[in-house]
Structure 1
């Protein structure tokens, strides 16, 4: 009788105990797999950030090197001219510095003036309009309004007309005269270097705005006295003071209209 009672008690206790089942293998490995994915994602993000930082540093180093080259070129140009002011005033450069036009001394002065201009209504604000016969450049600023600058234009046989756009801009641009110009000037006894670094002694002056896909530009000069004349091989020359102002006002893509 006692044995029966003990068996019944044991059976009751076992029936009351919770049944613990082992978790499926997939449930046990799921958290570990998810953690691995998170770690992998974090690692990839860190690698991408590091690569971006390296790229940014390379770009900064390249810009720094380019700025150093420009500064060196300006310093060399100033030494060749004797001083920055003498370059701007058109003083005769020392050997190795190319002049835009010999004997064109003068002072770099601002010529820009805001005017009422009836033709402005034909063009959208921001358009550059150049009249080679007037030796003037107009920057349309609004309906019936423009800012007018005195410019130098192409000499006889090198003037042109048409419509285009500003495709690029540069500060203290380098100058690479085309082979035809080098040959043409050589026939006159003038030797042009195939490359002149940007700086005060450079014929392109302080700024350049490149027109279309051709060789023409709107640029400054190291010969202020040439402004107002028909003196170039087709490019439009401005006082350095004026071209810096125009450079700051005009965006790449601006329309350019040239007429005689």
Structure 2
């Protein structure tokens, strides 16, 4: 597992892709763990304002401002909790030493924003994707089902939130991280969602603000 830790800094800080940019490069297969299968109330008091991050980036390029880092945390959430600040486009995994691991995320586009607290109820590696009926109605060209793999919009890993249709998942569109483009799911780069997936388990508390 790659170690993204960086020097501490102070910090602030939704379903599948709905934009269709040019095809993304295939997911790196240099690590066996990254191979596809063969076949609630808002509480921002704990979040100090983060520097304003520009989401502008060259098409098909990941904006490095959203790369993982370790930041200071002095809020009320317990270690192991995930806090997602949708305005800042950052996900924080609270750690036990007064810090949080911070990852850039993509969030719900206008009209698909949401907030609340759930727990991770299921985890899946290279998950298959079954677009819900309402999404297929909006986008008639979507398949009824897509097997897991590097071309799947859910990416390398998925963590399902409560009984909702929302997930924290990977993406085959890394350039969309830091933008509001999804139907409500929280998307991450594949390498970042793999790292987070290995750090949390079913039952993890997820607070979206």
Return the TM-score normalized by structure 1.
0.57
Please, which runs of 5 or more residues in structure 2 have no aligned partner? 1-22, 29-57
Instruction: Compute the displacement of 1:142 (Å).
Output: 1.9
Root mean square deviation of aligned Cα: 2.1
**Local SS of the residue matching 1:198:** coil
From 119, 123, 132, the counterpart of 2:86: 132
**Cα deviations across residues 19-64 of structure 1 (Å, max 9, x unaligned)?**
xxxxxxxxxxxxxxxxxxxxxxxxxxxxxxxxxxxxxxxxxxxxxx
Contact 2:62–2:177 (8 Å) recurs in 1: no
The match for 2:127 is 173
Match of 2:145? 195
1:105 maps to 2:60: yes
Q: Secondary structure at the match of 1:163?
A: strand
Which residue in 2 is equivalent to 1:164? 118
Separation of aligned partners in 2, 1:113 and 1:205: 21
Q: Secondary structure at the match of 1:133?
A: coil
What residue ranges of structure 1 are gaps of 5+ in the alignment? 1-80, 90-102
1: distance between equivalents of 2:93 and 2:133? Answer: 32
Matches within 5 A, 1:1-260: 86-88=25-27, 105-107=60-62, 111-119=67-75, 122-142=76-96, 144-186=98-140, 191-259=141-209
The alignment of Structure 1 onto Structure 2 pairs a total of residues equal to: 157
Instruction: String of CA shifts for 1:179-211, please: whole Å, max 9, x gaps.
Output: 10011123xxxx100100000000000000000
Structure with a larger share of its residues in helix: 1
Compare CA radii of gyration and give the structure with the larger one: 1
